[in-house]
């Protein structure tokens, strides 16, 4: 499943990184602790978090994350948007709580 397909099915807002919407999503990881994501997320995961600062892009790039979903309507900071566009890693936003969007994502990836 591609990032674009997830955007469409979960009604997500694309904040940045539009060039990466055709990335393949292989799994998901939910955490707000950067060291946890760095240690356990896998290449191709879609990362669910409420963190909006630039450091999320460093971790996403290092771990080759397919995309980031920000929860509760959070939007990325300006320098985070820039990095997302430079790395072609989409940042998406959802008005849902972490629990809800993670459950919906799980159902999509594990039908």
Question: For residue 9, which of 106, 84, 81, 108 has the smallest C-alpha distance?
Answer: 108
Q: What does the pLDDT look like over 42-91, one tens digit per residue? A: 999 999 999 999 999 999 999 999 999 999 999 999 999 999 999 999 99
Mean pLDDT of the chain: 97
Q: How confident is the model at residue 106 (pLDDT cuts 50, 70, 90)?
A: very high
Domain holding 89: CATH number?
Answer: 3.40.1390.20
The per-residue pLDDT for 104 is 98
Tell me the two tokens of residue 42. Answer: 């896998």
Q: How confident is the model at residue 94 (pLDDT cuts 50, 70, 90)?
A: very high
Cβ within 8 Å of residue 84, ≥6 positions away:
15, 16, 17, 57, 68, 76, 90, 91
Residue 10: give the domain boundaries. 3-109
The structural domain count of the chain equals: 1
Task: Return d(Cα 44, Cα 66) in angstroms, integer.
Answer: 5
The per-residue pLDDT for 56 is 97
Q: What does the pLDDT look like over 19-45, one tens digit per residue? A: 999 999 999 999 999 999 999 999 999
Tell me the two tokens of residue 60. Answer: 């996403």
* C-beta of residue 82 within 8 angstroms of C-beta of residue 58: no
């Amino acid at each position: 499943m591609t990032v674009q397909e997830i955007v469409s099915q979960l009604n997500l807002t694309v904040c940045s990184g539009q060039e990466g919407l055709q990335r393949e999503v292989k799994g998901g990881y939910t955490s707000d602790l950067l060291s946890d994501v760095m240690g356990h997320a896998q290449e191709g995961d879609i990362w669910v978090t409420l963190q909006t600062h630039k450091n999320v892009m460093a971790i996403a790039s290092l771990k080759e994350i397919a995309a980031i979903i920000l929860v509760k309507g959070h939007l990325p900071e300006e320098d985070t948007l820039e990095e997302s566009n430079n790395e072609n890693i989409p940042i998406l936003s959802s008005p849902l709580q972490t629990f809800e969007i993670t459950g919906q994502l799980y159902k999509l990836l594990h039908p």
